[in-house]
Amino acid sequence: MAITSSFMRYGTVPSAIISDGVLPIPLWAVTAISLAQTYHLPPIGSTAHKAIVATHDDTITLTGVLVGAERYAWKFALETMAEASKRGTALAAYSGGKFGGLILVTSMTIRTDMQVQSLTFNASAARRDVLDTTVTLVHVPRPSLLGKLLDVASIGVGALADGLGN
């Protein structure tokens, strides 16, 4: 029996991290990241007074591969995290409901209050030891000033991370 090792080199920084605030799931081989923003237009004749509501919907799609012997463990972890994003995460329980959803960290954006909209896995005989995966997350922030402050803070953290990486 031959001993096999993983295809991954875990000493590198992952392409994306999805977390519930306690357990991070690194996505090592993300091949594409897509961010779509849909903006809401105000109704004609609306007043100048605005309530604190979301002005746009953000959807982020990550496409990548889960490789090596660990691919089934990462698949299970993603499925568990997707369910937790709907029912309530560890972060929501710990913060008393002030924070909810998942945290997504990528080179493009850092977002809190994410929920998994869809999760797809594909396997083929042509690519053994690999599961292709697509994760679509929707940003569902709570309408508050704290949510906006977290979005602004994520810009600073992203800039700091870029500065440390160079």
pLDDT tens across 111-137, in order? Answer: 888 899 999 999 998 888 889 999 999
Residue 33 lies in a domain: yes
What does the pLDDT read at residue 101? 85
Q: For residue 19, what are the β-bridge partners?
A: 24, 103
Cα within 13 Å of Cα(161), Cβ side: 13
Q: Is 3 part of any domain?
A: no
The mean pLDDT value for 145-165 works out to 63
Is pTM, for the whole model, over 0.85? no
Residue 13's pLDDT band (cuts 50, 70, 90): confident
> Which has more confidence, 101 or 49?
101
Question: Can you give the residue range of the structural domain that contains 118?
Answer: 16-37+55-165
Q: Is residue 42 part of a domain?
A: no
Q: Is residue 7 domain-resident?
A: no
- The domain total for the chain is 1
Phi-psi region of 53 (alpha: psi -120 to 50; beta: other; left: phi over 0): beta
Distance of CA 20 to CAs 43, 85, 91, 105, Å? 36, 8, 6, 12
Q: Has residue 26 been placed in a domain?
A: yes
Residue 119 confidence (pLDDT): 95
What is the model's pLDDT at position 1? 46
User: How many Cβ atoms sit within 10 Å of the Cβ of residue 32?
Assistant: 10
Query: What b/e readout covers 122-147, taking b as 16+ CB neighbours within 10 angstroms?
Result: eeeeeeeebbbbebbbbbbbbeeeeb
In which band, very low, low, confident or very high, does the pLDDT at 7 lie, cut at 50, 70 and 90?
low
The number of helices, as runs of H, and strands, as runs of E, in the chain is: 3, 7
Residues in the chain: 166
Per-residue pLDDT, 48: 57
Q: Is residue 6 part of a domain?
A: no
Domain membership flag for residue 43: no
